[in-house]
Copies of this chain bind each other. A is one copy, B any other.
């Protein structure tokens, strides 16, 4: 691993693609070099679809006042300037699908030209060029049809798309596959040698939320409480049968949230935050038992709000930054969708992670 890499000794982390600032990792960099020529361990993908993460899509949509032309221009501008699709406000990206065009002679990913793949790392660190002006994107969904190319590094995780699931479904599942995997691990640990834990899922009718709810139950949760913001989602979630208790509460209202979770059987030993709106840190902490754990998956999470909020409430809770990588995460999530009709139903009905206004986020399916 060296920053003075020359073609022939590229870094598996992609350090050789960083233009500025020097020495940064690709995710932290302002600008990457997205040129199509491969380093020996790289793989080039012809991109057919981006899946913007929910927090980024919402921010861009709000900033564009919902106008598709402005939204297209914003995304094109970011990619042209930064060499990657990383929203400068949220810091987040999303993922992509495409077809492998060329694999370098030392590429370790096991991909061959023609493979249909999805990346499992964020667009925020993936060199990207868009060549079609996003002409086919109507701006109303976070799934963005496009043409162009992307570069995968030696250590970039990508997976061949499963043959038995429709591409938009697989993409939507893979986009959030870190959440059920980490939830499963934490719930298993919480239940070790004790009572099966109470688990609260904030945003349980969304993509990462429904997968996490199913994963929590399989990992041995004693009670799964699903929190949603309004009646429509509550009915959908109840029908899906993924949780034991459905609670309607605003996750941004700490006192109300904590009281609702308590009334449903809480406080929770494990609270999973899948609501992509700011301001949910305090409520999540307050809904969690002393000695419990909060997993933050929302990219709208504020580090300082969580740290200082817990301290301010004298709350002895373990707070985890939701790492999107857990070994085996893609397989675990795809299996949940295959085996849990409730999860599949929610995904196929196009329920999005959006919980503030119930705006559907997967209209393309």
A residues with CB within 8 A of B: 1-3, 11, 13, 15, 23-28, 90-93, 120-122, 124-125, 155-157, 178, 252-256, 258-259, 279, 281-282, 286, 296, 299, 301-327
Residues in B whose Cβ lies below 8 Å from that of A323: 307, 310-311, 315-319
Residue contact B91 to A305, C-beta cutoff 8 Å = yes
Copy total for this chain: 2
Residues in B whose Cβ lies below 8 Å from that of A301: 303
Report which of B27, B318, B319 forms a contact with A312, defined as CB distance below 8 A.
B27
Residue contact B299 to A25, C-beta cutoff 8 Å = no
Residue contact B91 to A304, C-beta cutoff 8 Å = yes
A91 to B120 alpha-carbon distance, docked (Å): 32
Residue contact A322 to B308, C-beta cutoff 8 Å = no
A156 to B314 alpha-carbon distance, docked (Å): 7
Residue contact B15 to A255, C-beta cutoff 8 Å = yes
Q: Which residue of B lies closest to A26 (CB)?
A: B312
Residue contact B308 to A321, C-beta cutoff 8 Å = no
Residue contact A27 to B309, C-beta cutoff 8 Å = yes
How many whole Å from A257's CB to the nearest CB in chain B? Answer: 10
Residue contact A325 to B314, C-beta cutoff 8 Å = yes
Q: Which residue of B lies closest to A181 (CB)?
A: B316
Residue contact B299 to A254, C-beta cutoff 8 Å = no
Residue contact B255 to A313, C-beta cutoff 8 Å = no
Residues in B whose Cβ lies below 8 Å from that of A303: 296, 299, 301-303, 306, 321
Residues in B whose Cβ lies below 8 Å from that of A311: 120-122, 178, 323-325
Residue contact B318 to A320, C-beta cutoff 8 Å = yes
A304 to B94 alpha-carbon distance, docked (Å): 12
Q: Can you spell out 22 A-B residue pairs with CB atoms less than 8 angstroms apart?
A: A1-B255, A1-B259, A11-B255, A13-B255, A23-B252, A23-B254, A24-B279, A25-B282, A26-B312, A28-B281, A28-B305, A91-B302, A120-B311, A124-B308, A124-B312, A155-B313, A155-B314, A307-B321, A310-B321, A310-B323, A316-B327, A319-B321
